[in-house]
Amino acid sequence: MTKKNKQEEKSEKKLLEEISEKLDKILGVLAIQNVSDVDSKIKILKNLGFSSAEIGLLMGLKNVRVHKGWKGK
Q: pLDDT per residue over 10-44, tens digit each?
A: 788 899 999 999 999 999 999 899 999 988 898 89
Residue 58 has pLDDT above 70, yes or no: yes
Q: How many domains does the chain have?
A: 1
Q: Which domain holds residue 14?
A: 3-71
Which DSSP category does 49 fall into? T
Share of the chain above pLDDT 70, in %: 92
Share of the chain above pLDDT 90, in %: 30
Amino acid at 1: M
pTM of the model: 0.71
The answer to whether the beta carbons of residues 14 and 21 sit under 8 Å apart is: no
Please enumerate in sequence order all residues whose Cβ is within 8 A of that of 39, keeping only pairs 6 or more positions apart, or say none. 67, 68, 69
Residue 68: the pLDDT is 77
